[in-house]
Structure 1
Amino acid sequence: MTFRQFAFNNVFRNKRLYVAYFLSSVFTVMVFFTFLNFAFHPGLNGEGIHPSVTKGMSVAGGIIYVFSFFFILYSMSSFLQSRKKEFGVLMIQGMSNQQIRWMVFLENMVIGFFATVIGIALGLVFSKAILLIAENVLVLDGSLSFYFPMKALIVTFISFMILFFFISIFVTFVLRTKKLVKLIKGDKIGKSEPKASIWLTVIAVLLVGSGYAIALYVKGPAVAFALFPVVTLVIIGTYFLFTQLNVYVVRKLKESERLFWKKTNMLLFSDLSYRMKDNARAFFMVAIISTVAFSAIGTLVGLNSYLTSGLKSAHPISFVYTAEEAEENNNEINKIEQTLDQYDLTYDKAEIELNYYNQNEDSILITTAETYNAFARITGEKEIDLKDTQVAVVEQSSGNMLVPQANLENSFITLEDGTNANVDKNLLGIAKPNVLPEVMHYYIVGDHIYEQLSSPEHTKKVIGWQVQNGDKDKLIAAGQKVSKEFPGIMAIDHAVHDINKMWSPIMFVGLFIGIVFFVSAGSFLYFRLYTDLDDDKEKFMAISKIGLTTKEMNSVIGKQITLLFFAPIIVAIIHGAVALTALSHMFGYNLFTESAIVLGSFFVIQVVYFIIVRYFYTKQVRLAVE
C-alpha cells in the first residue's frame, strides 16, 4: 500500500473521527454555492435592479468566502487537536514529522474535494427551494425561475479547491508534533488550578460596563462617532470576561460549601474552572461572531423598518401633489384624478396653500388652524382650534430624524411691525407633525396673528388625495404611473414599494451572512465540546463504578453543555441588544419589536441546536459507560 493510499484509506476507515470536520466543510460549501446561485440569477442582474444591490452581493460573497476560510481553518485545527494520540502512535511506528505533515495535507485535500462536490450537490438539490423562498421574500417585478447555475458551480468548485489547498499548506506548515510522551498521554498530563486576577476581573466589568454606558448614552449622529471606542472597549472587556471573570465566579461558587456539596454539583464544579479557562477563547470568538450576526441582521431589519414605517408615518396621505408656485395646474391635477379613477380608487380630497416666511434668516412655514384642519380631516387626525392671538409650534416630522430636534418652547415669530408673538407653551403637542407635508418644524397661529405677518417669501400649492378603498397593488400601480408623469407628486405606497424593491435583496444577502456567522459560532462550540468527549467518557466510566446513576450523569452533562452553549450566546444577545438600542437612538426610532424578533429567533435556533447536540453527546457518553 502506497503512502497516498494510506492517507486515503485513513479518511474512509475512520468516518466517525472525520465526520464533524467533513460536515462543517460541506455546510460551508453548500451555503456559498447557494448564495452564488442566488447572486448570479438572471432575474437579479437585469434591468430594474439597483446597482448597489449587485455591488452589495459581490461584497457579501467576498465576506462569506473569507469567513469560510477562517471557519474551515479553525475546524481543521480543532480536528487535529483531537488526533494527538493518533499522531503519537504513528510516531512510535516510525513515521517522521514530515510524513505526518504530508499525510495531513493529503487527507485534507481528499476531505476538501468530496466536501466541495457534495456541498455543491446539496446546493443544487435545495436551490429551487431557496429561489422560491427568495421570490416570496424579495420585492421583484419578475420571478426567480429555476436555472442550471453553471457559473456558480464552476466558481464554487475552483474557489474551494483553492481554499482547501492553501489551508492544507498552511496547516502542514504550522503543524508541530510535540514530544512523544505528551502526544500519547494527551490531556492526562496534570494541570494547575486555573487562577483569575481580581484586577483583570474588575477591568473586564469596567470595560464592558463603560462600553454599554457610552452606547446607551449617546444620541443621534454621535452614535456613529462612538462606534469605534465602544466596540474596542466591549471586545477587550469580553475577552477578559471569559478568561478572568468566568474563572473567578466558578472559584467563588466552589467556595460555597452549601452549593458545592448539593447533589451532583461537586462533579459539575470539579473541572468547570478548567473548562472555562480552556474554552475561554472559543467563548470569546462565539460571543463576538454571534454579536456581529445579531447586529448585522438587526441593523438590516431595523433600517428597513425605519425607512418604510418612518416614511409612511411622515406621509400619511396616499397621494400628495405639490406645486412650488401657488398657481394651479388644472391639467396635471385632472390627469392625476383620471389615473386614480382608472384604478377604481375612491378618495377624499383637500387643497391648501402653504406660505413660508423669513424668520431669523430662515424660511419657515407659518399657517392657520383652518389650513391644518383641512388635511387633518382626510387623515383622521383630531382637528385643532386656536384663539386669534395664540401661537403653536409643531415639532419636526419623524421623516427627518437625523436633524437634531430644536427646543422651540421659548421661540417666537416676528410680525410685520417688528413685534414678536411668543409660542404658547400650553399648546405644545396640540398638532401632529405629519399632518402637513413639512418635515421641519413650523408654526400654526391664530387668525389675528396671521393677518399681521409680512408678505410670504414663497407659497406652495398642495393637494392631497386620501384613498379610502386602497388595494395595495392598485395603489402601487397608480403611484408608479403618476410618479413617472408628474415629478411633484408623492405616492407613498409606490415610494415604499421602491424602497422594499431595493432593500429586500440586501436583506436576503444579510440573512445569508448572518446564518453563516451564527452556524459557525455554534460549530465552534460543537468542536470544543467534542474535543473533551473521550475525557468525559473515561471520567464518567470511573465515577459510575462508585454509584453514579444514569440520571445523575445526564444531569451533570446537561448542566455542563448548557453552560458551554449559553454562556457566550447570552453575552452575545446582551451585546446585540445594546448595539440595536444604540441604533434606535441614532435614528430616534423605536426598534424594540425588530430587535426582539431577531434576537429571539436566534435564541430559539440555538436552543434547538443545543437539544440536538446534548442528546447525541449524552448518548455517546452513556453507551461508553454501559
Structure 2
Amino acid sequence: MLLKLSLRNIQRSFKDYMIYFMTLILGVAIFYLFNSIESQTVMMNVSSSTREIIELMVNVLSGVSVLVSFILGFLIVYASRFLMKRRNKEFGIYMTLGMSKRQISSVLLCETFLIGIISLAVGLVIGVALSQLMSIFVANMFEADMTQFAFVFSSSAMLKTMLYFGVIYVIVMIFNVFFIGKQELIDLLLAHRKNEKIKMKNTWLCSAVFLIGVTMLGYAYYLVTAGVTKLDTADKIFIPIALGIISTFMIFWSVSGFVLKIFMMNKKTYYMGLNTFTLRQFSSQMNTTVLSMGMICLMLFVTICVLSSGISLKNATTASLHELSPVDLYIEKTWDLKGNKANGKPYNQKDLDDSHISITESLEKLDFSVEENLKDVLTLNIYMTNDLTFGDVLGNYADDVHKQMPYLRLDSAEKIMRLSDYNKVAKRYNKPLLQLKDHEYMVVANFSGMIPLRNEALKMNTQIQLLGETYHPAIQECQDGFLVPSANQSNSGIVVVPDNAVNESMKEENVLIADYQANDEVKKQIVENKIRSLSNHTYAKDLTNLDAITKISIYEGSIGIGTMVIFIGIYIGVIFLLSSAAILALKELSESADNKERYMMLRKIGTDERMLNRALFTQISLFFIAPLILAVIHSFFGIEFCKFFLQSFGEENLMPSIIMTVIFIVVIYGGYMMITYFSSRAMLKE
C-alpha cells in the first residue's frame, strides 16, 4: 500500500514539480557527460604529449566533479525543502487518517528512492546519448583522428554518477525523515495559512548599508581594473574578491528593505493595473530571499566570467599559432655555465665543457645528425650584461614604473641582439627588417602589457651604455617582433644594437633555428621524438644543456590547455547556471502555490486572465532578473580583469565568447524562467 501511495504521489506531483525532476535528470546527465571524457578519448589517435594533456584534463575534471557534487547536493536538498513545505497539509491529512510519522517517513523514503532511480535512469540515458556528440566535440577540439569512432559507454562514469547521486539521495532521505519527525499535526494542517515572517527594516539603516556596500563594491571594481597593478602578489587578489562577496550581500539586504518604496515613488506606474499587487509580492520575495539572491548573483557572475574568458582563451591559444611559431625547431643553450643548477647541485665537468661548444656540435656529439634531420639551419647568439638592465633601458621612467608595478624586477639584465642576427631571424619569421645607424638602438617586443612601458621610455629618448659607448633610440616606439616561438605574445623586450656594440665576453646563449628535413607528418614525428629525448627541458633528463621548443609541442600544448580550460569553464558554468535557475524556479513555484487564494480573490473582484497572467509574468521576470542585473554589472569589471591576463595571448576581443555566454544564459536561465511561468500559470488556474 505504501508503494502504491508513493507511486500515486509521484504521478500526481510530476506536473507541478516538473522543474525539480528536470533538474535532477539534467544534473545526472551533465555529471555523467563530463566524467565520461576519459572513455571518449581512448579511441583517439593522438600523440603521447596530447595524451598526457588529456589525462591531466580528466584528473582536473574529476576534482571539479567533487565541487559539482556538493553544488548539486545543496540544490537537491534545497529543492526538497521547498517540496516538503508544499506538502505540509497533505502530511497533516495522512496523520489525521491515522498514519504514524514512521509510516509517513516510509512513504517519503519510498518516494525519494523511486525518484532517484527514475532520475538516474533517465539522466544516464540522456548522458550516454550526449556523450557520443561530446566525443566528436572533444576530437575536434584536440584535432584528433576519429576514423576509429565507435559507440562509447563509460562504466566508470556511470558508477561514479551512481555513487555521488546515491549519497545525495540518502542525505535527502535523512532530511525528509527528520523533517517529518519534528512536525506537529496542528502545524501541518495550518501551515498554508501562515505567511513567512517579514521583519521590517529601518529605511535609514538600509540606506546606510546600501551606500557602504556600493562604496566597497566600487573599490573592488577599481582594484580589478585601474588598480590591478596593486594586486602584485597572489594573496592580494582575495581582497577584491572578499569585498565583492560581502558588498553583494549588503546590497541585496539593503535594497530588499526599500525596494517597495522606490516603486511607490512613481505613483502613476505603481497604481497602474495590478502593479500594486505584483510589486508587493516581489518586495516580499526580496525580503525573504536575501541570502539566496546573493548566492545566485555570485554564481551567475562566476558563470559569465568563466564562460567568457574560457572560450576566449581557447580562441586565443590557437589563433596566432602559425604566426608565432613559424619554424619547426628552436634550441637554445646557456653559454659558459657558472654557479649551480636549478636544483642547487653544481654542474659537472661534462656540463661545463658542453657550454663552450655550439648547439650544432652538441647535437653531433649526441649522435643527432643536423645535416640529415634539419634544413634551413640558422645559428646566432644572445648577449646579456649587468651593465644594461631593464631599469637602465627605462631610464628616468623607471621610478614611475616601480611605483605602478613594484613586482617588476628592474635589475634584470636585458636580452641584446646584433642587428645582423635579428634581421636573419626577422626574415625567417616574415617580420620587417630593421635599420640602425651608429650609436642607435631599437627595442623589439610584442607583449602588449610591456609595450606601453617601453614606448614611454623611448619617447623620453632614453640613452643606454654598452662597452663605454652611448646609444640613443632610432625610433620612439617598440617594433613588433620576437625570437622564441610560442603560443602567445610573450616577448617583453629585446634590445637590438649595431654589430660592434657587443663582444663575445657578453655572450649568454647560443641559439639554433631550423625546420625538419622530413616532409610527411610521420617522419617529422620521428625527428620530434629525437629532439625531445635530447632536451632536458621536456623530459628532465640530465643529458645536455639544451632547451628545445618545437612547433609540434607548442601546437599540442596550446590546443590541450585551451581545451582543458574551456571544458572546465563550461562544466562549472553550466552547473552554476542550472543551480541558480532551478533555485529561483522552485522558490517561485512554491510562492505561486501559496498565492492560489490571492489570485482566486482577484478573479472574484473581476480581474481578467490576461491581467493576471501579465502580473504573474512581471513578478517572475523581476525575481529572475534582479540577481542577473547585479551579476552582469559585476561581469563588466570581472571580464576587464580577465583581459589583463588574456593580453599575453594576443586576444582581447571577448565579443564572440560573450555572445556564446549570452546564448547559454538565454537558453538555460531564460528557459527555466519561461517553464516557471507556464507551470505557475497552470497551477494558479486549477
Tell me the TM-score normalized by structure 1: 0.82
Residue 129 (structure 1) aligned with residue 138 (structure 2): no
Equivalences, count: 609
Q: Which amino acid aligns with 2:470?
A: A
CA distance in 1 between counterparts of 2:191 and 2:333 reads: 84
Match of 1:177 among 153, 162, 183: 183
Instruction: Provide the aligned C-alpha RMSD in A.
Output: 4.2
CA distance in 2 between counterparts of 1:548 and 1:472 reads: 77
Quote how far apart the aligned CAs of 1:523 are: 0.9
What is the correspondence of 1:8-47 to structure 2 with a 5 Å cutoff?
8-41=7-40, 43=42
Residue 104 (structure 1) aligned with residue 108 (structure 2): yes
What SS is found at the alignment partner of 1:443?
Answer: strand
Quote how far apart the aligned CAs of 1:116 are: 2.0
8 Å contact from structure 2 (residues 387, 465) kept in 1: yes
CA distance in 2 between counterparts of 1:466 and 1:339 reads: 9
What does residue 568 of structure 1 align with?
627
Match of 1:162 among 167, 171, 186: 167
Residue 617 (structure 1) aligned with residue 683 (structure 2): no
What SS is found at the alignment partner of 2:42?
Answer: helix
Match of 2:465 among 395, 398, 414: 414
8 Å contact from structure 1 (residues 91, 180) kept in 2: no
Quote how far apart the aligned CAs of 1:564 are: 1.7
What is the correspondence of 1:416-431 to structure 2 with a 5 Å cutoff?
416=467, 419=468, 421-424=470-473, 427-431=475-479
What SS is found at the alignment partner of 2:432?
Answer: coil
What does residue 558 of structure 1 align with?
617
What does residue 359 of structure 1 align with?
387
Cα distance per residue 1:277-314 (max 9 Å; x no partner): 23333322222222333344445445545655687676
What does residue 601 of structure 1 align with?
660
CA distance in 2 between counterparts of 1:127 and 1:250 reads: 47
Q: Which amino acid aligns with 2:175?
A: F
Q: Which has the larger displacement, 317-326 or 155-164?
A: 317-326
Structure 2 stretches of 5 or more lacking a match? 336-356, 390-411, 536-546
Tell me the TM-score normalized by structure 2: 0.75
Match of 1:286 among 286, 296, 312: 296
Cα distance per residue 1:100-135 (max 9 Å; x no partner): 444333322222222223322333333323323322
8 Å contact from structure 1 (residues 577, 595) kept in 2: no
What does residue 63 of structure 1 align with?
67
Q: 1:243 to 1:36 in 2, by over 3 A?
A: same
What does residue 354 of structure 2 align with?
none
8 Å contact from structure 1 (residues 287, 568) kept in 2: yes
Q: Which amino acid aligns with 1:22?
A: F
CA distance in 2 between counterparts of 1:369 and 1:262 reads: 77
What SS is found at the alignment partner of 1:398?
Answer: coil
What SS is found at the alignment partner of 2:674?
Answer: helix
Match of 1:198 among 199, 202, 207: 207
Q: 1:25 to 1:42 in 2, by over 3 A?
A: same
Cα distance per residue 1:28-77 (max 9 Å; x no partner): 22222223332345718996324533431321232222222212111211
What does residue 52 of structure 1 align with?
56
8 Å contact from structure 1 (residues 294, 514) kept in 2: yes
What does residue 398 of structure 1 align with?
447
Q: Which has the larger displacement, 37-46 or 373-382?
A: 37-46
Residue 501 (structure 1) aligned with residue 551 (structure 2): no
Q: Which amino acid aligns with 2:465?
A: T
8 Å contact from structure 1 (residues 182, 189) kept in 2: no
CA distance in 2 between counterparts of 1:178 and 1:405 reads: 75
What is the correspondence of 1:432-447 to structure 2 with a 5 Å cutoff?
432-434=480-482, 439=491, 441-445=493-497, 447=498
Quote how far apart the aligned CAs of 1:530 are: 0.8
CA distance in 2 between counterparts of 1:229 and 1:97 reads: 50
What is the correspondence of 1:293-442 to structure 2 with a 5 Å cutoff?
293-304=303-314, 315=325, 317=327, 319-322=329-332, 327=358, 329=360, 352-359=380-387, 363-395=413-445, 397-398=446-447, 409=458, 412-416=463-467, 419=468, 421-424=470-473, 427-434=475-482, 439=491, 441-442=493-494
What SS is found at the alignment partner of 1:219?
Answer: helix
Identity %: 19
Q: 1:223 to 1:494 in 2, by over 3 A?
A: same
CA distance in 1 between counterparts of 2:574 and 2:615 reads: 30
Q: 1:436 to 1:193 in 2, by over 3 A?
A: closer
What does residue 214 of structure 1 align with?
223
CA distance in 2 between counterparts of 1:318 and 1:573 reads: 44
Cα distance per residue 1:327-380 (max 9 Å; x no partner): 573997996686678xxxxxx886654444452586543334443333333434
Structure 1 stretches of 5 or more lacking a match? 342-347
8 Å contact from structure 2 (residues 281, 619) kept in 1: no
Q: 1:472 to 1:115 in 2, by over 3 A?
A: farther
Q: 1:381 to 1:354 in 2, by over 3 A?
A: same
Q: Which amino acid aligns with 1:119?
A: G
CA distance in 1 between counterparts of 2:617 and 2:563 reads: 40
CA distance in 2 between counterparts of 1:219 and 1:52 reads: 32
Q: 1:443 to 1:149 in 2, by over 3 A?
A: closer
